[in-house]
Amino acid sequence: MVCVVFKRKVLKQIMDFKVDFNLSFNSEVQLTLCQCCVFFLGSGGFGCLNGVFFAIVLYFRQVRERLKKDVEKMKLQDPNFRPALVILQVGDREDSNLYITMKLKAAAEIGIHATHMTLPKTATEQEVLHSIKEVNENSSVHGLIVQLPLDSIHKIDTEKVTNAVAPEKDVDGLTSINAGKLSRGDLGDCFIPGTPNGCMQLIKQTGVSVAGKRAVVIGRSKIVGAPMHDLLLWNHATVTTCHSKTADLAGEVGKADILVVGIGKAEMVKGEWIKKGAVVIDCGINHIPDETKASGKRVVGDVHYASAKEQAGFITPVPGGVGPMTVAMLMANTVLSAKRFLEEHQPGKWSISYTQLNLQKPVPSDIVISRSCVPKPIDCMAREVGLLSDEVELYGKTKAKVQLSIIKRLQSQPDGKYVVVTGITPTPLGEGKSTTTIGLVQALGAHMNLNVFACVRQPSQGPTFGIKGGAAGGGYSQVIPMEEFNLHLTGDIHAITAANNLVAAAIDARMFHESTQTDKALYNRLVPLSGGQRKFSPIQINRLKRLGIEKTDPSTLTEEEITRFARLNIDPSSVTWQRVLDTNDRFLRKITIGQSPTEKGYTREAQFDITVASEIMAVLALTSSLEDMRQRLAKMVVATSCSGQPITTEDLGVSGALTVLMKDAIKPNLMQTLEGTPVFVHAGPFANIAHGNSSILADKIALKLVGPDGFVVTEAGFGADIGMEKFFNIKCRYSGLRPHVVVLVATVRALKMHGGGPTNLELLEKGCSNMRKQIENAQHFGVPVVVAVNAFKTDTDAELDLVCSMAKAAGAFDAVRCSHWAEGGAGAVALGQAVQRASGATSNFKFLYDLELPIADKIRIIAQKIYGADDIELLPEAQHKVELYTKLGFDNLPICMAKTHLSLSHEADKKGVPTGFILPIRDIRASVGAGFLFPLVGTMPTIPGLPTRPCFYDIDLDPETEEVNGLF
């Protein structure tokens, strides 16, 4: 009874195995048991001596179950991760199709995502190499098998093709690199080819020790013979490799305790050659005539099985022996590759090198310092911080864009610590906020060995050539190369200029065409005939739906529906969308457009803004994905109709084109600091008009890359009353991110100015009131504050100590002096340590106001709590906008105050902490796409002007070296 049960179990295992590998049994199975060893015979010529066939079945299933568990563990580590394999086939050989089917099925059972990539028989070598390159660069693929032979009508160098596979994805183990590592015994650092590895596992399943045995390998191919020799050798066998030219082959075979045959000749090795009790592994697959088969042929190995089984202690069947084990080992290699990938690309696991500074005294100019340091190649920087090759687009050697696909790859990983750098109310003397940001990240990274990213805004060309200069930091705390940083970078601002002005052109063109055409003519041009039919574009269908017209056939619209669809009826006086230019040109602040005779008298007053004041820049900074950006761009309100309805870019039909223009700008730009720490440079909205912070996308990617113990340091524009307030109330609302620390930058000389003069400690103490108020402003949001006192050589110890002590007395978590401008990261280590301590302190982050409050109440809370105003005054235009935006449903948007950055009040000359003032709100405008309302406080120029002597006087290019001279 036991034998019968065992017999049924064996039969089921074998039949399952047959299904797994498409084996064909053409006669009834006869199963006998001999001394508890399975003997399986059939007219197909399958056999197994002393249980080897059954061992193959059991071992394969063990491997499969082990690999399935490994895949499940990887998914626990990262739910979005899945090992992936690509099998590349050229042509359509029947035998190749069979092998590929086996591999695909095995992969599916294990949980590997396998893709069969096919190229036609007409594929050229170059096309095959191109396909391999694509897979090599795809970080989501961990294994690549090139199915051999390559069935092409063209001559293809197989060696060249197999060597084109990236060694880390070469699960076939056929590249020269993997073969070389195997030949020198680096078994743990290479992929062992599937067939030799499968043979080795079969040998081990017999229980025969390989060490000290005499092994003979027949065949020297790179797929079987050569790697089999190396594998046996490094498992301590004495190995002889034989081939068709070997003298006395039978004699050599007779010496073998272990015999592996892969010569490709049907039944060449005879049973009488084989040593009694030897382990025989037959890798051959050959077809010989057999009239009893429907196909007229049958499959045999390189060993004459019928005679060999009488001599061998163990022998593998053909087919069904080595083949399935090869597949199992290929799957094992794929899982191993995936494991290595996960291990190597653990978020926060950086292998980064830092750049040693050569500090000079006195400190040279910024440009001299920038050029004294050779930046790391940006692709090297990308690898160091865990970015994959296909996630990075290189723009030369020192800058790159990062693909948004990384967000999905890292979405399940924990974030790092989030730090925002802000400052006291700015003065013309400058506080060094950008310099402090860079100095802090250099300290945290190069000197404290923590993973850290800086996330800063891209500078506008206007200030660069105007009066402010660049925004790369300064001294020994800079983003490099500073010329690249300050001049164009990767063209994001130019993309915004193009997109913004496309909208402006669309507005005026639409008003012009509506004023000169009948409803029917306008409709026929908006929905033109094409191939005898009219068809709505997707954007036009969106407009129809918003109008409540559920029709998609242009011929079915009524006259009333045609009028509603075709006419926007824009009120010219309501147009809020302006043209932009990234240059300080004061004479474009007010212009008249449409003066050409071709415009038929259609003129109106307009203006230019500077590009970084465009709502599209704010959209870029606040978006969370390409889809989100598309939706935000579509929602931008450019005017209202004569009936008071908002007109959007989607109504104009231009939103899709805007997305196309912005498709590259949405990707953050990767650069580095002087000391080799990574920097994201992305977006640059004005802080006194827009929200003044770099992009949410850059912050989110950086927080994933640094890992839970790392830091992301971002900078908010101008003082804490502007940039920081908007960072919390606008940026953090849309990002969902919660900051751990606020760094407030102050300088002795700026505080003296707030105190009324530069002469003594009394005035300095008076000026510290501004710092105290900005600390209080940060505390409104429940975040610990560290004050960074940016020291200058003219500051005395008494002055620096006074500022630090007053900061702590005002409630700062800590206050430290910094010298990063002169010393780089070393001069900000104390600041870095304070930030690290503060990041572990209790944080009770909260927003300043509830979005559901009325518009006026939200403005009042900011004015009273942040600026210190007694109240607000809504002037008539502002009051009208409150009523309009409430009616249109825009009243639940956050508030982005547009006011001078030079004072806590609306009057730029009021330093320190002004009191007793009423904040006048002259107008309110809506950036619906960006997602905020911006009240205008006083007069606010939206495009700066050039001074008498702009910076461009000093800027020139050396035609021989192509170096930029005179830039800071």
Whether the CA torsion 724, 725, 728, 733 is positive or negative: it is negative
Q: What is the spatial distance between Cα 643 and Cα 21, in angstroms, rounded to a whole number?
A: 73
Q: What is the spatial distance between Cα 588 and Cα 70, in angstroms, rounded to a whole number?
A: 65
Instruction: For the beta carbon of residue 189, count every other beta carbon within 10 angstroms.
Output: 10
Single-letter residue type at 489: L
Q: What is the spatial distance between Cα 834 and Cα 817, in angstroms, rounded to a whole number?
A: 11
What pLDDT, in 10s, does the model give residues 471-484? 688 899 999 998 88
Residues 836 and 736 occupy one common structural domain: yes
Paired residues of 287 in beta bridges: 299
3-class secondary-structure state, position 171: coil
Q: Cα-flanking dihedrals φ and ψ of residue 431, to 5°?
A: -110, -15
678 Cβ neighbours under 8 A, 6+ residues apart = 381, 384, 385, 452, 453, 454, 670, 671, 672, 702, 705
Answer yes or no: is 97 within a domain: yes
Q: What is the spatial distance between Cα 935 and Cα 912, in angstroms, rounded to a whole number?
A: 23
What mean pLDDT do residues 36-51 have?
Answer: 34
Give, in order, the Cα–Cα distances in Å from 634 to each of 542, 615, 896.
10, 12, 20
Residues 557 and 426 occupy one common structural domain: no
Contact 723, 712 (CB under 8 A): no
Residues 499 and 478 occupy one common structural domain: no
Instruction: For the beta carbon of residue 836, count every other beta carbon within 10 angstroms.
Output: 20
Give, in order, the Cα–Cα distances in Å from 633 to each of 543, 617, 649.
15, 10, 7
What mean pLDDT do residues 716-726 have?
Answer: 94
Contact 476, 859 (CB under 8 A): no
Instruction: For the beta carbon of residue 553, count every other beta carbon within 10 angstroms.
Output: 10
Instruction: Tell how strand 678-681 and strand 604-606 pair up.
Output: unpaired
Paired residues of 218 in beta bridges: 242, 261
Residue with tokens 């990213």: 453
CATH number at residue 593: 3.30.1510.10
Q: How confident is the model at residue 469 (pLDDT cuts 50, 70, 90)?
A: low
What mean pLDDT do residues 116-140 have?
Answer: 96
Q: What is the spatial distance between Cα 254 and Cα 505, in angstroms, rounded to a whole number?
A: 89
Given 9, 68, 103, 667, which residue is catalytic? 103
CATH number at residue 719: 3.40.50.300
Predicted pLDDT at 370:
87
Q: What is the spatial distance between Cα 521 and Cα 540, in angstroms, rounded to a whole number?
A: 17
What pLDDT, in 10s, does the model give residues 170-224? 999 999 999 999 999 999 999 999 999 999 998 988 889 999 999 999 999 989 9
Q: What is the spatial distance between Cα 310 and Cα 150, in angstroms, rounded to a whole number?
A: 38
Answer yes or no: is 686 within a domain: yes
Predicted pLDDT at 40:
31
Single-letter residue type at 404: L
Instruction: For the beta carbon of residue 516, count every other beta carbon within 10 angstroms.
Output: 12
Residues 589 and 452 occupy one common structural domain: no
Answer yes or no: is 417 within a domain: yes
Paired residues of 288 in beta bridges: 298
Q: How confident is the model at residue 548 (pLDDT cuts 50, 70, 90)?
A: very high
DSSP 558-614: -HHHHHHHH---B-GGG----EEESS--GGGSSEEE--SGGGTT--EEE-EEEGGGS
Range of 502's domain? Answer: 493-662
Answer yes or no: is 296 within a domain: yes
What pLDDT, in 10s, does the model give residues 333-372? 999 999 999 988 888 889 999 999 999 999 998 888 988 8
256 Cβ neighbours under 8 A, 6+ residues apart = 214, 215, 216, 240, 274, 275, 278
What pLDDT, in 10s, does the model give residues 922-932? 999 999 999 99
Residues 389 and 509 occupy one common structural domain: no
Give, in order, the Cα–Cα distances in Å from 918 to each of 660, 758, 863.
45, 29, 9
CATH number at residue 329: 3.40.50.720
3-class secondary-structure state, position 701: helix
Task: Look up residue 867 and give its two tokens.
Answer: 């600026």
Answer yes or no: is 67 within a domain: no
Q: What is the spatial distance between Cα 17 and Cα 105, in angstroms, rounded to a whole number?
A: 12
Answer yes or no: is 412 within a domain: yes
Predicted pLDDT at 57:
64
Q: What is the spatial distance between Cα 691 and Cα 727, in angstroms, rounded to a whole number?
A: 7
663 labelled catalytic: no
Q: Among 316, 334, 352, where does a domain finish?
A: 334
Answer whether residue 799 shows pLDDT above 60: yes
Q: What is the spatial distance between Cα 145 and Cα 171, in angstroms, rounded to a whole number?
A: 7
Answer yes or no: is 42 within a domain: no
Which CB contacts under 8 angstroms, 24+ apart, belong to 121-127? 121/90, 121/91, 121/92, 121/151, 121/152, 121/153, 122/152, 122/153, 122/154, 123/90, 123/91, 123/152, 123/154, 124/152, 124/154, 124/156, 125/154, 125/155, 125/156, 125/157, 125/160, 125/161
Predicted pLDDT at 25:
37
CATH number at residue 868: 3.10.410.10
Contact 875, 887 (CB under 8 A): no
Q: Is 553 left (phi over 0), alpha (psi -120 to 50) or beta?
A: beta
Tell me what the pLDDT averaged over the chain comes to: 89
Q: What is the radius of gyration, based on Cα positions, of the chain?
A: 37
Helices in 645-707 by DSSP H: which ranges?
A: 649-652, 655-661, 696-706
Residues 670 and 658 occupy one common structural domain: no
Residues 186 and 106 occupy one common structural domain: yes
Answer whether residue 22 shows pLDDT above 60: no
Paired residues of 119 in beta bridges: 90
Q: What is the spatial distance between Cα 205 and Cα 73, in angstroms, rounded to a whole number?
A: 26
801 Cβ neighbours under 8 A, 6+ residues apart = none
Answer yes or no: is 281 within a domain: yes
Single-letter residue type at 902: L
Residue with tokens 């094992």: 332
Q: How confident is the model at residue 324 (pLDDT cuts 50, 70, 90)?
A: confident
Predicted pLDDT at 733:
97
The domain tally of the chain equals 4
Answer whether residue 21 shows pLDDT above 60: no
Q: How confident is the model at residue 761 (pLDDT cuts 50, 70, 90)?
A: confident
Residues 640 and 710 occupy one common structural domain: no
Q: What is the spatial distance between Cα 958 and Cα 328, in angstroms, rounded to a whole number?
A: 63
What pLDDT, in 10s, does the model give residues 488-546? 899 999 999 999 999 999 999 999 999 999 999 999 999 999 888 999 999 999 999 99
Q: Among 811, 840, 869, where does a domain finish?
A: 840
Predicted pLDDT at 48:
42
Residues 86 and 208 occupy one common structural domain: yes
Residues 152 and 273 occupy one common structural domain: yes
Percent of the chain with pLDDT strictly greater than 90: 74
What pLDDT, in 10s, does the model give residues 662-687? 999 999 999 999 999 999 999 989 88
Residues 596 and 680 occupy one common structural domain: no
Residues 534 and 550 occupy one common structural domain: yes
364 Cβ neighbours under 8 A, 6+ residues apart = 372
Q: Name the DSSP letter for residue 21.
A: T
